[in-house]
Amino acid sequence: MALTTLGSTGGSAARSITAGLTRKGVDLRSKLVEGSLIGALGITMVILAVLVADIIQRSWSVWTDRPVDFLTSGLNNSSAAEAGVSSAIRGTVTLCLIVIVVAFPLGIACAVFLEEYAGKSRFARWTRVNVRNLAGVPSIVYGLLGLGIFVKALDALGNSADNLQGRGFFALRWLGNVFEFFAGNQGRNVFAGGLALSALVLPIVVITTSEALRAVPGAIREGALGVGATKWEMIRHHVLPAAAPGILTGTVLSLARAAGEAAPILLVGAVTGTLITGNKGFLDQLSGPFTALPAAIFSYARAQGEDFRAVTAATALVLLVLVLIMNGFAIALRNRYDRKW
């Protein structure tokens, strides 16, 4: 009956529907389309495989000849036989620690405010708009920020340190020493770099944490408030634990992003030539010139000679392993705790 109605309306639509429903044999065009789609996915995966294989293969000579020496010598772009990554690894670890200390508490607390306290106030709306807009800004712009604000500010701190250290009162002298520590190398130090990276990941941390908090159902909040918990107790004992896997995933991913960014720290003044810290004290090393793994790759990639290709690949492999471990941890965490309420 249905088909007769279709037929009676006539037209090409009815004919093609009938043809579609009664067709026999292999549908060649669909197979072709599916094949090319698989091809697109396949090429993407092949690119990834070639990338990793190429870097491992290129760096092989370094790992067989002098693995320990490579990991323990400093940045050196004049001699490939003495080049290493120790100062770069130390710089990257320090940068990551600064991001963890500065950006994560600030970002998570800001997200808690926006999701749990703010509602629709004008201030909250503006903060949300700002954070969203900054999330997609190119990383080199944050380097500009580091150069324009953080380096200048730390340098100014150093100038006031000279002033303070001349005072008689011991507390002021002590404060002067602290300022001088943070203002090493005219402000072009690891702290300025870490602050620039913190500004870079802050919007990402706020957005991912907000999403994790939003995924916690309202019933959990109402339950907690219903038995007499204060708002803080509700957040502390119910909302945050429920959102913890999501928050952790987002923060670890953004940490991996910060560890791999080169442009901001280079603009802030990461060393790209030679940085051999020798036997300087730990604190002197910390406040002096700094470098990091991405900066080291940039430095070695531009050095001439086939030997440096191997060194660059080895440095890239170190960074890749570091970043992929973080990413893998985050993805595994998300897949494990991916629960729908």
Partner 1 sequence: MAAVTPTSPAPIILRTNSRRRFRDNAARGVFVSAAMTTFVITMLIIGTLAFDAWDFIRQVTSAERGQGWQLALTVIAGFALAALAVRSIAPRIGTTGALPWLRRALWPLAFVAVLVVGFSVFGGWTLLNSLGSELTQVGWFPRRGLFDMSTIIVGTFVIVGIAMIVAVPLGIGAAVYLAEYARPRVRKVVKPIVEVLAGIPSVVLAFFALAFINPNIVVRFFDPPNKAASMLAAGIAVGILTIPIIASVTEDALRAVPLALREASFGLGAQRSQTTFRVVFPAGISGIVAALILGISRAIGETMVVAIAAGASGGALFHFDPLQGGQTMTAAMAGLGFGSDQVAGADAAFQSLFFIGALLFLMTLLLNVLGDKLVARVREVY
Residues 6+ apart with CB under 8 A from 143: 196, 263, 264, 265, 266, 267, 268
Contact 180, 163 (CB under 8 A): no
147 lies in the binding site for partner 1 (CB under 8 A): yes
DSSP string across 108-173:
HHHHHIIIIIITT-HHHHHHHHHHHHHHTS-HHHHHHHIIIIIIHHHHHHHHHHHHHHTSSSHHHH
Contact 170, 77 (CB under 8 A): no
- Smallest distance from partner 1 to CB 22, Å: 8
Question: And the tokens for 215?
Answer: 């995924």
Among 23-31, 63-71, 213-221, 240-248, the segment contacting partner 1 (CB under 8 A): 23-31
The tokens 């629709």 sit on which residue?
120
Q: How far is the CB of 68 from partner 1 (least distance, A)?
A: 23
Rounded to 10 deg, the angle between the 28-65 and 306-336 helix axes is 120
Q: Which residue, 124 or 172, is less far from partner 1 as judged by CB?
A: 124
Instruction: Pick one of 72, 217, 328, 337: the residue that binds partner 1 (CB under 8 A).
Output: 328
Minimum Å distance from CB 293 to partner 1?
8
Site for partner 1 contains 259 (CB under 8 A): yes
The nearest distance, CB 83 to partner 1, in angstroms, is: 14
Q: Name which of residues 214 to 253 contact partner 1 (CB under 8 A).
A: 227-228, 230-233, 235-236, 253
Contacting residue, 133, 159, 163, 177, with partner 1 by CB under 8 A: 133
Q: Which is nearer to partner 1, 176 or 312 (CB)?
A: 312
Minimum separation from the CB atom of position 209 to partner 1 (A): 11
Q: How far apart are the first and last CA of the chain?
A: 45
DSSP state of 76: E
Window 110 to 129, contacts with partner 1 (CB under 8 A)? 110, 112-114, 116-118, 123-124, 126-127
Binding residues with partner 1: total (CB under 8 A) = 110
Nearer to partner 1, 18 or 72 (CB): 18
Residues within window 24-83 making contact with partner 1, judged by CB under 8 A: 27, 29-30, 32-34, 36-41, 43-45, 47-48, 50-51, 54-55, 58
CA distance 282 to 190: 13
Q: Do 268 and 143 contact (CB within 8 A), yes or no?
A: yes
Residue 279 or 304 with smaller CB distance to partner 1? 304
Among 88, 190, 240, 323, binds partner 1 (CB under 8 A): 323
Question: Tokens in use for 48?
Answer: 């990834």
Rank residues 183 and 262 by Cβ distance to partner 1 and give the closer one: 262
Binders of partner 1 among residues 260 to 319 (CB under 8 A) are 260-263, 266-267, 269-273, 294-295, 297-299, 301-302, 309, 312-313, 316, 319
Reference 34, options 23, 25, 44, 42; nearest CA is 42
**According to CB under 8 A, which residues from 151 to 190 bind partner 1?**
none
Task: Pick between residue 34 and residue 222 the one whose CB is nearest to partner 1.
Answer: 34
DSSP states of 199-240: HHHHHHHHHHHHHHHHTS-HHHHHHHHHTT--HHHHIIIIIH
82 residue type, one letter: E
